A and B are shown apart, each in its own frame.
Chain A
Amino acid sequence: MTNDNTLISVQDLKVYFRSGHECARAVDGISFEIRQEETVCLVGESGCGKTVSALSILGLIQTPPGEIAGGQIMFQGKNLLELDEEDMQKIRGNRIAMVFQEPLTSLNPVFTIEDQIGEAISIHKNIGSGELRDCCIKLLKDVGIPSPVQRLKDYPHQLSGGQRQRVMIAMALACDPDLIIADEPTTALDVTVQAQILQLLKSIQETRSMSILYITHDLGVVANIAHRVYVMYSGIVTEQGNAAQIFHHARHPYTQGLLASLPSRSKRGKRLFSIPGTVPNPAYKPAGCPFHPRCPHAIPICGKEYPKMCDYGQAHLARCPVLFKNSHNPDKPEPKSI
């Protein structure tokens, strides 16, 4: 499964949150991998465990209430889940950096931008103050902030939302990491600003040849930026493949439903398809396929048996044996479990 090209591979990760007598299975056995110089998107609805997966890569899950219940995260030959805090700190920010959703709260309001970017650099590198300053200016220039020299002394509240997000990206870039995890970096921004940020991420990735794990719930953004996509639902990966496979040949009822339910100009006048019901509470997940109470193709066995990943070839997998059997095709292999 893993080849030389793989940068990070997450295998069967399980993260549970316990509170009182409830146990929320936020991430319930997900596996994904990110290759070098690749943008991977994790899409899914609110509460399906995207942020928790990202945080557990960085070892930022609070325990308790959190608990890593199983799996491994292999990064450059090491299992990140087994590293101690000191080794983890060397990786965090240095090899793997993160950009958060809310740019206002993730910058400290009492420090200038220079302080904050400088701090991100000096934690991992030992350089003099003059050089540090040059570094900051260069980073700000790289992320497209106009007149960076004047902006250095600004406080976060003096910047617009888009600029704050650029500063966050500059901080993430500070140590030239191998992987940037961007957790919904544009959700709080306007479409025009979102377009700018996406453009920026794309160009950074091309010029610096790094990998990006991009987390979002917006399929439009995914189409714009992703090489490969993992669709998550209720703590598991339901479908994976490259962008074209996901958008033009979706194989899982959930992905199909999502795509069909997107409003657009071409669907004017027609009734939108909608997935009935609501997202399950992670503490009270249905047995079997978590999607079965809402699935139009569900058959009785779906409520009993946990569905296997089915291989559609060319690295396109979907977790729905029912549709796989229906699309019966002799030259395709039998569903095999992964």
Chain B
Amino acid sequence: MESKSKDKQMILRVQNLKKYFPIRRGFFQKIAGWVKAVDDVSFEIEQGKTLGLVGESGCGKTTVARLILKLLEPDNGKIIFRGIDIGELTEKEMKPLRKKIQIVFQDPFGSLNPRMTTGLSIEEGLRILGIKRGKKRKERLEKLLKMVGMSPESADRYPHEFSGGQRQRICIARALSVDPSLVVCDEPISALDVSIQAQIINLLKDLQDRLGLSYLFISHDLNVVSYLCSTISVMYKGQIMESAPAEELFENPRHPYTLSLISAIPDPAPGLRRKIEILEPDLSDSLITSKGCRFQGRCPMEEPRCLEEEISFEKVGEKHFVRCWKAAKK
């Protein structure tokens, strides 16, 4: 009952998602261990809203994105898109749903086919929508290009003739060509020049207002996420450590990792230098931890219990979850 009504509101629900990559060693490629790239990740994205996923490099953000897009098969867990568990669908059953979730990649240079004009790249989506070649397709193409702020004559050009920001606009146009309802943005601005980043952020925001898109916005920059997202999930070594509405997360951060992240944001307002909580350097073999809290070894409040048991993801407030027993108890 409750979950049905929730499904309507939530465009995407991810539950206990897991993906381990084998580490192969030796001559016979024996499996020597597992990289727990995504380990028990759950979150929800509301229709028309933006969820921010932040975390340091290598913590598994891109892997989450690839799992949602079914570019990787999850080992465990559910991915429920509009009430349908797409984790279990076969390639064929997935086909009509596939275009509803689109992605914009970080690297604007690798994400466009260098041998195709941008027009053809975007038309690929229109073709899949079933729009026949001809005047109608051309009109749609021009409309898409204008929507992302590119002139229609860019359709005949090859990707190497564009700057990074312009390519990113073209990638957005390609993603929009199939009329998606959820767009996964995997660090879409971190490869761009500072003065171009704001253009792309504005574009994403405008498109959300106009088309009612939902975003999963992946980033390592808390400034950007805090500006753009309604809910923020903080990821660390394959697990979500804290998840809360943006305001709540900044006003009332609970998890020690979130605290140190927020204090480490480089803030362009000198004179207001806050005390930065300097974390211990990370010495462990990043994702192959054994037992207990993933933050052990760097946590300033660590206790023996943290090394012993698996820490659960506990609710500490309205839509506020934290994976730390000490923070949850407070």
Tell whether any CB of A sits under 8 Å from a CB of B in the complex. yes
Contact of B198 with A195 in the complex, beta carbons under 8 Å: no
Q: Chain B contacts of A160 at CB under 8 A?
A: 281-283, 286
Q: Does B106 contact A (CB under 8 A)?
A: no
Q: A305 vs B120: C-alpha distance in the bound complex, in angstroms?
A: 42
For the residues of A in contact with B, the DSSP-based class is helix
Asked if B226 and A264 make an inter-chain contact with CB atoms under 8 angstroms apart, the answer reads yes
Which residue from B166, B267, B270 sits with its C-beta under 8 Å from A243? B270
Whether B250 sits at the interface, judged by CB under 8 Å, is yes
B205 within 8 A of A: yes
Map CB proximity to A onto B169-211 as digits: 1 under 8 Å, 0 otherwise: 0000000000000000000000001111111011001000000
**Given known A-B contacts A243-B270, A262-B223, A278-B163, A191 and B264 have beta carbons under 8 A apart:** yes
The residues of A that contact B57 with a CB separation of less than 8 Å are 161, 189-190
Known: A160-B281, A163-B281, A223-B270. A265 touches B220 (CB 8 A): no
Please count how many residues in chain A sit with their CB below 8 Å of the partner chain's CB atoms: 48
Residues of A within 8 A of B194 (CB): 45, 217-219, 258, 261-262
**A50 smallest CB distance to B (angstroms):** 12
Give, as a whole number of angstroms, the nearest-CB distance from B238 to chain A: 15
Asked whether, in the complex, the Cβ of A221 is within 8 Å of the Cβ of B56, the reply is no
Residue with the greatest number of chain B CB neighbours at <10 A, chosen from A161, A190, A257: A190
Contact present for B198 and A263 (CB under 8 Å): yes
Q: Which residues of B contact A208 (CB under 8 A)?
A: none
Query: CB-CB < 8 A to B281: which residues of A?
Result: 144, 146, 160, 162-163, 193, 196
A276 CA to B163 CA, complexed, in Å:
13
Of all chain A residues, the one with the shortest Cβ separation from B166 is A278
Instruction: Select which of A194, A223, A244 is within 8 A of B267 by beta carbon.
Output: A223
User: Contact at B268–A278, with CB atoms within 8 Å?
Assistant: no
- A-B CB contacts (within 8 Å), total count: 136
0/1 string, A267-285, CB within 8 A of B gives 1: 1100111111011000000
CB distance A194 to B266 under 8 Å?
yes
Tell me if A46 counts as interface (CB < 8 A to partner B).
Answer: yes
CB contacts (< 8 Å) of B199 on chain A: these are: 274-276
Q: Is A224 an interface residue (CB 8 A)?
A: yes
CB neighbours (8 Å) of B129 from chain A are none
In the complex, whether B222 has a CB less than 8 A from a CB of chain A is yes
> A271 contacts which chain B residues (CB < 8 A)?
202, 205
* A279 and B227 form a contact (CB under 8 A): no
Distance between A161 CB and nearest chain B CB, rounded to angstroms: 8
Q: Which residue of A lies closest to B59 (CB)?
A: A190
In the complex, A220 has a CB within 8 A of chain B: yes
CB closest residue in chain A, given B193: A45
Q: Does B276 contact A (CB under 8 A)?
A: yes
A278-B198 CB under 8 A given contacts A220-B223, A265-B250: no
Starting from the known contacts A160-B286, A191-B222, A261-B195, 4 additional A-B residue pairs (CB-CB under 8 Å) come to A161-B57, A190-B56, A199-B276, A217-B194
